[in-house]
Structure 1
Amino acid sequence: MRPGTGLAACHHGEILQGVFLDERGRPCRGLVTLPMARPLTRATFTPLPGTPAHRVLVPGRGRAKAARAAALAVAECARLSGTRACGGLLHLSTGVPVGLGLGSSTSDVLAAIRAVSACFRTELPPGAIARLAVSAERAADPTMFGDRPVLFAQRRGLVLEELGAALPPMAVVGCLTGGGRAVSTLSVTGRTHREDDVDAYERLRDLLRRAIAAGDAAEVGRVAAESARRNQRLLPKAELGALEGVARACGAVGLQVAHSGNVAGLLFDAGQQALRERLDECRARLRGHGLTAVRTFRTPPENEGERPWTTTYPKRSADRT
């Protein structure tokens, strides 16, 4: 076997996150993420024949989840390909900042799984990758499904609903809240929504489904803004009022936040008039509130022409989230 390489994207927090009904009518945590084309994580898996299959070595600290994911992928890919399983060496390189709610650990995990899959010359479907990712990190983001918006049960690795082909075209001005401090995802996900929230989140689910079908960016923005407000009792953001004021002043259709991190985004209809001027005004108003716009991007993601991250993020921690 030859070394295999895998790539994985990240996301910019959530459009919607809460508690929903699953296929059996039971309350279930779920989320819809806002995809980004960059930054990426790149993984290379080099097999070491004769090494126990569970033994995956990863240089650097804080990569235990990726190592677990690679070992699980080895077992699955060996079974599918009829090849003898073995451990290996996993190298990861990433530009995804840690602890901000961008899905850095899932990006690591997906890149590792894809690198192992390439090494064994197997093709794992997104559903299988999702199950491996959740097994490796307890809760995963749905970035294995690409740009297609899905309501995803992050602790079960299941798609609760495919919401449509793509999000309406939007421009996003992203910034940091909470001084850009890292947030431990598991400490936030341990806080629970109340079961009586189900009706409210099911209503938002229905509105989002309809908005995506109609290509209605304004309605997507309203859903995201309400989800952000509802998240205040789980991970309050002192800057939310300021962000709402900037959104109104600049003609944004809404805002979204990382429900377990410190990124936030102002959402604009990509087809609205004077878009460039609105984006420039948004960045200026954010600066006036002591917030720095760190990224401007479009969704669905564009592979070319996106502005790079323009601020220095906090140093990576050993516990990737």
Structure 2
Amino acid sequence: MSKQEQRHHLYALLGKLPPRDRPMTVAVVSRQETDELVIETLLLDINGRERVPAYFTRPRHQTGPFPTVLFNHSHFGQYGVGKEEFVQGRPEMQAPPYALALGRAGYAGLCIDSWCFGQRQANGEVDTFKYMLWHGQVLWGMMVYDSLRALDYLHTRPDVDSRRLATMGMSMGSTMAWWVAALDERIRVCVDLCCLTDYQALIAARGLGLHGVYYYVPDLLTHFTTAQINALISPRAHLSVAGRLDPLTPVVGLARIDQQLRTQYEQDGKADAWQLRMYETGHEETAVMRADILDFYKRWL
């Protein structure tokens, strides 16, 4: 099966999704300028069910089009945070927030509120999961769909260099980054922080309860391993950073993924485009991680 056929197969596991070519509308709610950034607050009509609040940021004193990062926010059971993580940061991540860090490096960024987070938290994660399941839908599938449509939106902006798109995130956002990059070849660079989790290793470690209900896709393990999904990103650049003490990413599973991806990237003639870096920490971003991530973008984006 070709990589493109595998992408179609993986996407088909995500339940009943809206059409990918559904018409999209975007409203600019507000626009503000800081000393270093222009920040647009947006409302995207992309899925036909509920509108998607988002932030788009770009360097204030530079001229585009800009290389752009689709930033995927994390979970941490803090449903009120959502896209605010991108512009305000969070304790588990380094300062400054990624909107500013990316802006200082010359990049634009987009972050949406995922289902059940930020301004979309009214119905709750568990209730939303159950409601969607009754209707043949998968919560993770609808989350991925919104992220893919966010990429579609970036392609409509004249201030975005659509040839230089990346995606990244921590924890839940990490998982979203590698799913989106696997499914969409428009992503040039993928960076995942602290959630490249081998499913079989997680089962062996009795760690299923560490991930929210959103994480679970029916029948996924019949068809794909974590490494097989991530192999669809090759030969595009992919950096994974992980903590050796992080229970969400068992080390034995990381080693398994690393071995398989090294083989895939070597076969695709881009051995140096895949990197797994591990640090003596838990489920958090360290200063060294942040520096390594920005260096990776500088090289590959």
Q: Same fold (TM over 0.5)?
A: no
Q: Which has the higher contact order (CA 8 A, sep 6+)?
A: 1
- Give the TM-score of the pair, scaled to structure 1: 0.28
Q: Select the structure of larger CA radius of gyration.
A: 1
TM-score w.r.t. structure 2 length?
0.29
